[in-house]
Structure 1
Amino acid sequence: MKCIHSLVLPLAAIGALMFPAVLPHGASLDPIDSTGVQVQPQQQNGISYLSGGIGEDEAKAIQQAKGYNLHMTFSIGVENKYVPDVDVVIQKEPGQTVLTLSQAGPLVYVQLPPGKYAVVATRNGEAKHDTADVGSGTARNLVFHWGGEN
């Protein structure tokens, strides 16, 4: 029995290293240095949103924000580098524009009324399209990725 107990602790330690605790998207236990955070809630057409995420503290601040039911992330290249220069149009179907942002990102969180929305994200003239069916439950995550580094 002693032999089994002496194996359990090392195996548990190895398991903890191989399978660290997984935190929900956006959850971080690390403190945020708010002196470097410039993100403030904004509104357009009665729609609240956050746009930013330049730097680790600003990204954490947005990811920890509550009450936004559409989360968008913009990145480029094989390294998935965040990019802050994306034009975004969100339309409530059929074609009613509810939000238009210029030079947004790399993270954009939006509080939309429940419904189905079409989202177009454009960077350097290359448009990416997606749809989001948002409600009052879990936030919908959209990731827009461009292959180039320019």
Structure 2
Amino acid sequence: MLQALAPRFNQRITFALTGGEYLSDVTVTLNPERGVELLKARTHGPFIYFRMPPGRYRIAAQAGHVIEHRWVNVPVKGGIDTRFYWPEPNRHGVVSSL
């Protein structure tokens, strides 16, 4: 059902572990390239969808002690999918190579 709604949104984000398991309880912060924070939210599931003006945005996603950042360009038409993967979000200070 959620997949059927996805085309209505122009920015779709998925959160998962590198092993393939979906991840929830991720803190997401959304900032335009120039400007103040637009959103800070905590997910209740592995997906969060937005409908937002076209432009360049910085997305920060925090799972456990690990924060990942992505720059995305939201197009005028269509949408984009952004995925965040963590090796193990609760292993603070651990460096892994992929």
TM-score normalized with structure 1 length: 0.55
Cα separation, partners in 2 of 1:137 and 1:129, compared to 1, 3 Å? same
Query: Which residue does the alignment assign to 1:74?
Result: 15
Query: Which residue does the alignment assign to 1:136?
Result: 76
Whole-Å separation in 2 of the counterparts to 1:111 and 1:137? 12
Q: Is the partner of 1:64 in helix, strand or coil?
A: helix
Query: Which residue does the alignment assign to 1:103?
Result: 43
Any stretches of 5+ residues in structure 1 without a counterpart?
1-60
Q: Where do 1:24-39 residues align within 5 Å?
A: none
The one-letter amino acid of 1:142's match is T
Q: Which of the pair has more CA radius of gyration?
A: 1
CA contact (8 A) 1:73 1:105 kept: no
Whole-Å separation in 2 of the counterparts to 1:97 and 1:105? 22
Q: Is the partner of 1:97 in helix, strand or coil?
A: coil
Give 1 or 2: higher helix fraction. Answer: 1
CA contact (8 A) 1:77 1:149 kept: no
The one-letter amino acid of 1:124's match is G
Q: Is the partner of 1:120 in helix, strand or coil?
A: strand
Whole-Å separation in 2 of the counterparts to 1:70 and 1:89? 13
CA contact (8 A) 2:61 2:69 kept: yes
Give the share of equivalent positions with the same residue, in percent.
Answer: 27
Work out the number of aligned pairs and report it: 89
Whole-Å separation in 2 of the counterparts to 1:74 and 1:145? 6
CA contact (8 A) 1:88 1:104 kept: no
Question: 1:119 is matched with which residue: 38, 51, 59?
Answer: 59
Q: Is the partner of 2:2 in helix, strand or coil?
A: helix
Q: Alpha carbon RMSD of aligned pairs, Å?
A: 1.6
Cα separation, partners in 2 of 1:74 and 1:138, compared to 1, 3 Å? same
The one-letter amino acid of 1:87's match is T
Q: Which deviations, in whole Å up to 9, do the C-alpha atoms of 1:37-95 show, x marking residues without a partner?
A: xxxxxxxxxxxxxxxxxxxxxxxx222113200010000142x1111110000101124
Task: Give 1:126 deviation, angstroms.
Answer: 0.4
Query: Which residue does the alignment assign to 1:63?
Result: 3
CA contact (8 A) 1:74 1:83 kept: yes
